[in-house]
Structure 1
Amino acid sequence: MADAEVKNKTESNLPKQTPVNPQLSAEAESKSVTEDRASPTSDEQITRAKQNGEKWGWRFWTIIGSLCITSLLTAIESTVTSTALPSIANTLNSRELYVWFVNSIFLSSAVVQPLFGQLADVFGRRWPCIFTVAMFALGSGIAGGANSAAMLIIGRVFQGIGLGGVNCLLDMIVCDLVPMRKRGAIMGVIFAVFSAGSSIGPFVGGVLVDRVSWRWVFYIGLPVAGAALVLLVMFLHVEYEKTTSVPQKLKRLDYTGNLLLVLAMVSILIALTYGGTLRPWSSWRTIVPLVLGFLGMVAFHVYEASGIQREPVMPPRLFKNRSSFLAFILVFLHGMILYWVIYFLPVYFQSVLLSSPTRSGVQLLPTLIIVVPFGILAGGLTTATGKYKPFLIIGFALQTLGVGLFSMLDSSSSTALWAVFQIICAAGIGMVSTTILTACQVELPESDVATSTATWGFLRSLGSIWGIAIPAAVFNNRFAELSVMIEDEALRLSLQNGAAYEKASAAFINSLPEPVRSQTIATYTGALKQVWQIAIAFSALGFLVAWGVRSVEMRKTLETDYGLKEKEGKENGGEGNKA
């Protein structure tokens, strides 16, 4: 699958007489674990050569269109629900469970992505992609009909399983159809559609909560999922290996590795969720799951590297070159900062500026809109110049500046101020969004597209989990410390143990008499200030790590077993692919 004729060029500090090909060991290992696959026929090789052409036919663009519509599922989840969560938490009286409305979907999304990477290699891209959209629809229906916090969390888990597959499979399919040098532009098209949906998401979420019902925050995903299913069934016809029987294919899956990963992630997240809120950080109930979780992660990586599993779900070879290793760290940090911003700016708008959910959604638009042009710009320039490292450095620099400026916001901040601060941070987020996958894959062979994309998706989702859990813990702890300034003891006690987030709404705060209302707003402001100060450290770390990523020449050709499916007897308008 990897193009043996293409050799990546590293920076000039490497000895010239040494053949620079960091893919050799990875390619050899990839060949050894896939020897049971049928060897490509000469017709398949011809197909691959055609797919390296400059033009794409109508079938290519129908697939890209289908992927664009499917990407709206992620847009809906990541933005429509963010402004509605405080109201949902209050309606269902969730108290400390509110964080699981977010963490459940990110946990389930993260842990299934490596598995979907394997499923895509074993069963192809088409049916796993269709399955994930169906799972999202099922979860949306359950969450929309929830009458308790537990039922809502179950629905969110199903949504997360669907989104986990969607997030990695969309990019995986693009990698199968487009050479690396040209991927930035095509991913920019999908990103533009995703961001368009994201830009109206908070507004739609706020309107649904204010004017209809919070349940429609979830029901709105059903027609989008239905449209995506129809398009994928009609147009997503790509190649995959069909000669191996289903039992043989199932034997290739890494069941032990996936189980270790799930158990470790659940254990860590339990500790992060309740540490410092319901339980002190020094409590054995916090320490034990945290230690078990980290030990589980160590056991997972030891097992993956042991050679016991013939095809590990997260092969160690992905991290053996410096650029890929550092790029995967950046993926984690980028996912963290993105959701740190998306989920805690609405808290500022609603608890400090006293905005309604609808207005809060509108106030978040600078972040969501500005991401689009900068993401498209970075993707296009990466395609045109072959350079991706500068956008990582500039992107994290802007993110660091942006979250630092957020710490200056208070109840007297002007519209211009918080809008400009968002624009700065969003520009950095956009630049990294469309270039980071390239940095992860540029020194890996094409045969690792599925596993590297799935690992990229897993680390991004893992970062999202920490990007919710860490600021939530910081916010709750700091709010508890500052709540002494609230004179009303009954109110002060009612805002402990996670209840401060639940009650972060204009309706609640406006119901308080003075001077208690001003004291409560000041407490929210102080807690949020520390949330943003902690964010500076993580974003600055990303800026430093980005300098260590190597600048490597991107491949201009493509070799894959999962390209457009051939149909005999028809030509695709003479544009290089059979129809």
Structure 2
Amino acid sequence: MTSMAVASLLAGLDATSVSTAMPSIIYDLGTSQGYMWIANAYLLTTAAFTPIFGQTANIFGRRALTLFAIIIFAIGSAIAGPAPSLGALVAGRAIQGIGCGGINAMVEMVVCDLVPLRERGKFMGFIFAIYAISTTIGPIVGGAFASRATWRWIFYLNLPLTGLTLVMVLVSLSALPSGSSMSIRSLKRVDFSGNVLLVAAITSILLALTWGGGEHPWSSWRTILPLVLGLLGLPLFLLYETRVPEPTTPLRLFSNRTSLVGLWCAFLHNMLVFWILFILPIYFQAVMRFSAFRSGISILPTAAVCMPFTIVSGGIMTKIGRYRPLLMAGFVLFPVALGLFTKLDQNSTTGYWTSTQVIGAVAIGVIIPVTLPTILTPLPESDVAVATATWAFMRGFGTIWGVAIPLAIFNSKVDSLAAVRLSDNWEARTELSNGGAYTLAAGGFLYPVLGLEDDPDLEATIKSIYVDSLKLCWQVGLGFALLGFLLTFVAKELHMRTELETEFGLENELSKKKDVPPAA
């Protein structure tokens, strides 16, 4: 279990550490053109390649796929660290994303194989707490390396960590069955065509979301065409999966309403997590004038509170054998937090934005260990691998939308407000339009580029544009949080198994206990 926690730490830290180092990366590589792909390539491959790990883990075994994911992650880090150009860095990040998607899926898969369904909550709570901490301190680590040494150490640090993780996994998972050997017959069982369809669809969607409102207007065919093709590609992928003997994503996972709710709640949960983590730094850096490093420090309340509530939520679920009350509790608190975030402005106190983060962090922590058991409870143990990989995919897909939707809303609102409030200041309006407002805030260039230190009136106007644009982002996020709350009423409360029905299980007393009566 410790090796799985370390692997989760590795994936979580890398997911967010680049954000605060972005200005240094742009300066060092000498280009800002296409810099968003440093993050987007990682998000794309993390989401798109996750499902294939579920299918191949059933063919080649958990241990082999876990080791493979860690090695791929290390290769990506080795490419990204010394990258001489933006293209090389993006390539390294894309390879890292494949490894990260595999790590995320395999960690939960191994946990599910080792302990019965009802007992998984407390173990998942611990591992998710580690992941939550690592994703939150990632920006601090990235900012520290960028300001005190070099951003390249963000990737160099991964190499000894992956080495340690490999050794731990080799030792701790040595007893697991190895699965089928690498042969032509085994490879023919892999759904390569389905995965190509899925990767193409996700890539097309991400291209549209990246270009829209920035490089191209949302009304441009260059934005609309890839978005439509990507959205059509997803149902085409599912249709194709009905015709494959061993599909990557079996449609039976969506055949019951409880698993379906769990999958969509996982999507909404991760979307809202990254919605918050994406918008708050813009608020801190543009409105409150915090440095990137201080902005990272200011998000610490999210990690500090999320961690214990993740562990507590998992423990409660194990104790009571019920997941629905915890799912509902989390999605009750999410709208409260997002509603309070809509009131953030330049006059908000530290106490206000800290306490609001605390409420959001409780919601995040309570939900984290609950969505996967919600999905798995109605399904047989034979579906654990593909269901876990699909759950990981939905989380990764939610991450993409959790960044893309608020960015699109923010850019669009800034453009409309700047056209009115900066009608007599062409230079400032041009700098903020077409995605410039986000780039300037995220890169820490807003105040020097626009000369706001010497013009308090312009500073007040710019801040008002940021505040009102971010307010709309929070309001839309509130709508998604309410949707999640409504979905929790659709899920059924089913009996969580206390018997372990898998060849990978640990021999312990937990699996020998008699089943408790079904939850009401």
TM-score between the two structures when normalised by the length of structure 1: 0.83
Q: 1:562 aligns with which of 504, 507, 514?
A: 504
Number of equivalenced pairs: 505
The AA in structure 1 aligned to 2:403 is I
Structure 1 residue 397 corresponds to structure 2 residue 332:
yes
Residue 479 of structure 1 corresponds to 414
CA contact 1:411–1:525 (8 Å) conserved in 2? yes
Aligned counterpart, 1:257: 194
SS of the aligned residue for 1:548 comes to coil
How far residue 86 of structure 1 moved from its aligned partner, in angstroms, is 5.0
| Cα distance, 1:481–1:218 mapped onto 2, change above 3 Å | farther
Query: In structure 1, what is the equivalent of residue 71 of structure 2?
Result: 134
Shift of 1:400: 1.4
Whether 2:318 is the aligned partner of 1:383: answer yes
Question: What is the distance in 2 between the residues matched to 1:357 and 1:426?
Answer: 21
Find out whether 1:345 has 2:314 as its counterpart: no
One-letter amino acid of the structure 2 residue matched with residue 548 of structure 1: V
Greater share of helix: 2
2:432 matched to 1:490?
Answer: no
Contact 2:3 2:172 in 1 (8 A): yes
Bigger shift: 164-173 or 146-155? 146-155
Give, in angstroms, the shift of residue 559 of structure 1.
Answer: 1.3
Contact 1:124-1:240 at 8 Å conserved across structures = yes
Percent identity over paired residues: 43
Is 1:367 the counterpart of 2:367? The answer is: no
1:528 to 467, 470, 475: 470
Question: Quick check: 1:332 aligned with 2:274?
Answer: no
Give the SS at the match of 2:501: coil
Question: CA separation of 1:183/1:574 partners in 2, compared to 1, >3 Å: closer, same or farther?
Answer: closer
- Looking at structure 2, the residues matched to 573 and 454 of structure 1 have their Cα atoms a distance apart, in angstroms, of 26
Give structure 1 stretches of 5+ with no counterpart. Answer: 1-63, 565-571
- Indicate which of 384, 388, 405 corresponds to 1:470: 405
1:318 Cα deviation from its structure 2 partner: 0.6
- 1:77-134 CA deviation, whole Å, 9 max, x = no partner? 2332233335545655655634322221111011111101111100001111111111
Alignment-derived partner of residue 121 in structure 2: 184
Cα displacement (A) at 1:497: 2.5
Please give the per-residue CA displacement for 1:330-358, whole angstroms capped at 9, x wherever unaligned.
11111111111112211111111111121
The whole-number CA distance in structure 2 between the counterparts of 1:546 and 1:90 is: 46
Q: Structure 2 counterpart of 1:345, which letter?
A: L
**CA offset digits 1:165-191 (Å, max 9, x no partner):** 000100000000000010011112222
2:488 maps to which residue? 546
Q: Secondary structure at the match of 1:97?
A: coil
Alignment partners' CA distance in 1, 2:477 and 2:29? 30
Deviation string, structure 1 residues 447-474 (Cα, Å, up to 9, x no partner): 0000000000001000101111111111
- In structure 2, what is the equivalent of residue 148 of structure 1? 85
Question: How is 1:57-76 mapped onto 2 (pairs within 5 angstroms)?
Answer: 64-76=1-13
Deviation of 1:245 after TM superposition, in Å, equals 6.5
Cα gap change, 1:90/1:433 in structure 2, threshold over 3 Å: closer, same or farther? farther
**Residues of 2 paired with 1:288 and 1:200: CA distance?**
38
Alignment of 1:72-87 (within 5 A): 72-85=9-22, 87=24
The structural deviation recorded for 1:199 is: 4.5
Once structures 1 and 2 are overlaid, which stretch shifts more, 372-381 or 79-88? 79-88
The aligned amino acid for 2:396 is S
Encode CA deviations 1:237-259: one digit per residue, 9 max, x unaligned: 24336566722211111111111
Tell me the equivalent position of 2:169.
232
1:284 deviates by 1.6
Q: Deviations over 1:336-395 (max 9, x none)?
A: 111111122111111111111211111000112211111111100000000111111111
The list of structure 1 runs, each at least 4 consecutive aligned residues, that deviate by more than 6 angstroms after superposition, is: 572-577
1:86–1:503 CA contact under 8 A, matched in 2:
no
Distance 1:347 1:90 in 2: 20
| Equivalent pair of 2:60/2:181 in contact (CA under 8 Å) | no
Q: Corresponding residue for 2:518?
A: none
SS in 1 for 2:159: helix
Deviation string 1:404-425 (CA, Å, 9 cap, x unpaired) is 2112111111100100010001
Task: Please give the alpha-carbon distance, in whole angstroms, between the structure 1 residues aligned to 2:86 and 2:130.
Answer: 32
> In terms of mean alpha carbon deviation, does 77-86 or 129-138 score higher?
77-86
Matched, 1:210 2:152: no
Q: Residue 462 of structure 2 aligns to which amino acid in structure 1?
A: T
> Paired residue for 1:449?
384
Contact 1:86 1:502 in 2 (8 A): no
Distance 2:483 2:31 in 1: 34
- Does residue 1:163 correspond to 2:100, yes or no? yes
8 Å contact kept, 2:115–2:511: no
Kindly indicate whether the alpha-carbon contact (under 8 Å) linking 2:125 and 2:368 is maintained by their aligned counterparts in 1. Answer: no
**SS of structure 2 residue aligned to 1:504:** helix
Deviation per CA, 1:129-172, whole angstroms, max 9, x where unpaired?
11111111222232232343322221110110010000010000
Q: Distance in 1 between matches of 2:8 and 2:48?
A: 20
Distance 1:119 1:282, change over 3 A: same
Task: Say which SS state the counterpart of residue 83 (structure 1) adopts.
Answer: helix
Query: Match of 1:172?
Result: 109
Aligned to 1:114: 51
Q: SS in structure 2 opposite 1:314?
A: coil
Partner of 1:518: 460
Q: Is the 8 A contact 1:476 1:498 kept in 2?
A: yes
Asked whether 1:437 is paired with 2:372, we answer yes
Contact 2:116 2:510 in 1 (8 A): no
Q: 2:355 maps to which residue? A: 420
Check 1:481–1:86 CA distance in 2 against 1; reply closer, same or farther (3 A cut). farther
- Asked if the contact 1:124/1:241 (under 8 Å) is kept, the reply is yes
**Does the CA-based 8 Å contact 1:379-1:435 persist in structure 2?**
yes
Relative distance call for 1:545 and 1:89 in structure 2 (3 A) is: farther
2:414 and 2:393 map into 1 onto residues whose CA distance is: 31
Q: RMSD of the TM alignment (CA)?
A: 2.2
Match of 1:504 among 428, 431, 441: 441
Amino acid at match of 1:347: I
Higher relative contact order (CA 8 A, sep 6+): 1
- Superposition deviation, residue 575 in structure 1: 11
Q: Is the 8 A contact 2:22 2:443 kept in 1?
A: no
Q: Which moved more, 1:214-223 or 1:166-175?
A: 214-223
AA in 2 matched with 1:545: L
Q: Which runs of 5+ in 2 are unaligned?
A: 513-520
Instruction: Give the letter aligned to residue 130 of structure 2.
Output: V
Instruction: Give the 3 Å change call, closer, same or farther, for CA 250–261 of structure 1 in structure 2.
Output: same
Tell me: CA distance 1:574–1:181, structure 2 relative to 1, closer, same or farther (3 Å).
closer
CA–CA distance in structure 2, aligned partners of residues 532 and 573 of structure 1: 47
Listed as ranges, the matches of 1:269-284 within 5 Å are 269-284=206-221
